[in-house]
Structure 1
Amino acid sequence: MASENPIVVVATMTAKPESVDAVRTACTQAIEAVHAEPGCELYSLHEANGTFVFVEQWADEEALKTHGTAPAIGALFGAIGEHLDGAPDIKMLQPIVAGDPAKGQLRG
């Protein structure tokens, strides 16, 4: 059952310059499987100059925990590990809602 406070995650990964295409391909290949995971409300990939940012929203802590051990994530990190310039930066965030609530927070 979804909680009232979904969990938002921002995961940032920087590809080595020669590996940008390989990282992009591996990331995009993982998306469909992750979208099918229970509790996935948002799993959106963005890129700027070889830095890849996943913006994620999970229904609850259990969904995020399941995602962390899912086959798609194991395969993704197995494929991109050697292609990254440093470790991924993964942050779990809490919304600070201000202004128009419909525009001030992510929602599933």
Structure 2
Amino acid sequence: MAKTYVTAVITAREGCAAALESELRKVVDAVRAEPGCLRYDLHRAGGVFLFYEIWASPAHLEAHGRTPHMAAMHAATADLTARPSEVALWEAVETAG
């Protein structure tokens, strides 16, 4: 199965960046321990947060979306975000000649 690459951009509501960061940080260790998680990194630029993820397969990513810690994170951050998350799935581009 092909690796699955994901970016998820989450934008904080005005005045909520610190609270949003606190909630997003709570899931990092749990996600990194999930089967098939190869990378799960959180980045920040002002009130905008980016998760960069690599999963062993699409099935692992799908299972990740159904975990209790992700459901809890979505519930805890619903009132802290300015808009829905922007999630993109990516494919690696082979560049070796």
Determine the C-alpha separation between the residues in 2 that align with 1:31 and 1:45.
Answer: 8
RMSD (CA atoms)? 1.3
Determine the C-alpha separation between the residues in 2 that align with 1:35 and 1:75.
Answer: 16
Give, in angstroms, the shift of residue 72 of structure 1. Answer: 1.2
SS in 1 for 2:87: strand
Question: What is the aligned partner in structure 1 of residue 42 from structure 2?
Answer: 45
The correspondence of residues 1-108 of structure 1 with structure 2, limited to 5 A, is 3=1, 5-98=2-95
TM-score computed with the length of structure 2 as normaliser: 0.94
Question: What is the aligned length?
Answer: 97
Unaligned runs of 5+ in 1: 101-108
TM-score computed with the length of structure 1 as normaliser: 0.85
Give, in angstroms, the shift of residue 99 of structure 1. Answer: 5.7
Give, in angstroms, the shift of residue 28 of structure 1. Answer: 0.5
Identity %: 29
Unaligned runs of 5+ in 2: none
> What whole-Å deviation, never above 9, does each CA across 1:13-37 have from its counterpart, x for those lacking one?
0001211011100111110111111
Distance 1:99 1:17, change over 3 A: farther
